[in-house]
């Protein structure tokens, strides 16, 4: 199943969920590296500490702490810092993302690691395999609880989405007076349009209404009754940019003449450098 994810830079990414086989391969590679660490590091620590100096209880405690670090701390840290990648996922071109397409954070990585310890390690991946086969995105139990899924990032096609003028508002913007917008408001509006896909629909609509209400203070007349907030925001930003570009183009000959006059000495004084 392919999804279109809109990044904060206004770039649409066509991605698809990773197959169960690919996810299994990535996990086996991670498990192999984890096994090497669990086998080699305890032996190294015991040899360094010295079994004669410490009792078995301390050695057992060290092993438990090491297991917590390997199974929980390291996966959480790696996935948080890399926004959803591990060694196996990087090799297979996979990445964990949120259901809305955004990058995962500490909370998502922590839930995935805690649940993954039981469904992947204690149950040897059996529960995760069965659960992944029952949904289109290949989500295991940890993904359901964290609100994430694993996407295949190889061959991702991206297209830059330009700011466009909604056709239903083309006639309205021609007769609309748009006062200069505060930079902060214009930036918030542009970021909202770029990230609107990431919000749940009720939150997305409320944010759009709030920004549209702020933009209406700078336009006259108001948009047609019943206009959706997002097309209205896009129309205002598009027309604002078009008018600013047109004003700059009209002033360019005058600026060029002024710059040429600056380089000329007054009263016909010859330029010694010429």
- 225-248 pLDDT tens trace: 888 898 999 999 988 888 888 887
188 neighbors 236 (Cβ within 8 angstroms): no
- 74-121 pLDDT tens trace: 999 999 999 899 999 999 989 998 886 778 889 999 999 999 999 999
pLDDT score of 251 more than 90: no
Pick from 219, 214, 213, 249: which is nearest to 236 by CA? 219
H or E segment and range at residue 152: strand 148-160
- 19-56 pLDDT tens trace: 889 999 999 999 999 888 887 776 676 666 655 555 67
- 143-170 pLDDT tens trace: 999 999 998 877 544 444 456 788 888 8
Q: Output the 3-class SS for 221-242.
A: CCCCCCCCHHHHHHHHHHHHHH
pLDDT score of 2 more than 70: no
Higher pLDDT pick, 110 / 264: 110
Alpha carbon distance 213, 13 (integer Å): 30
Percentage with pLDDT > 70 across the chain: 78
């Amino acid at each position: 199943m392919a999804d279109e994810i809109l990044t904060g830079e206004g770039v649409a990414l066509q991605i698809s969920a990773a197959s169960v086989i690919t996810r299994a391969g990535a996990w086996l590679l991670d498990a192999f590296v984890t096994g090497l660490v669990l086998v080699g590091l305890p032996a190294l620590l015991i040899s360094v500490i010295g079994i004669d100096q410490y009792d078995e209880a301390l050695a057992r405690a060290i092993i438990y702490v090491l297991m917590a670090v390997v199974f929980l701390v390291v996966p959480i840290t790696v996935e948080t810092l890399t926004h959803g990648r591990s060694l196996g996922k990087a090799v297979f071109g996979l990445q964990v993302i949120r259901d809305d397409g955004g990058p995962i954070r500490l909370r998502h990585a922590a839930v995935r690691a805690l649940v993954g310890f039981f469904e992947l390690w204690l149950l040897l991946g059996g529960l995760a395999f069965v659960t992944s086969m029952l949904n289109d995105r290949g989500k295991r139990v940890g993904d359901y609880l964290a609100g994430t899924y694993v996407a295949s990032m190889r061959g991702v096609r991206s297209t830059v989405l330009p700011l466009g003028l909604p056709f239903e508002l083309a006639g309205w913007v021609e007769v609309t007076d748009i006062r200069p917008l505060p930079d902060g408001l214009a930036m918030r509006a542009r970021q909202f349009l770029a990230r609107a896909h990431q919000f749940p629909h009720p939150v997305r609509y409320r944010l759009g209404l709030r920004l549209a209400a702020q933009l209406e203070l700078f336009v006259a007349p108001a948009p047609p009754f019943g206009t959706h907030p997002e097309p209205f925001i896009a129309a205002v930003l598009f027309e604002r940019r078009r008018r600013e570009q047109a004003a700059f183009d009209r002033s360019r000959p005058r600026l060029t003449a002024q710059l040429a006059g600056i380089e000329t000495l007054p009263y016909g004084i010859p330029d010694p450098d010429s």
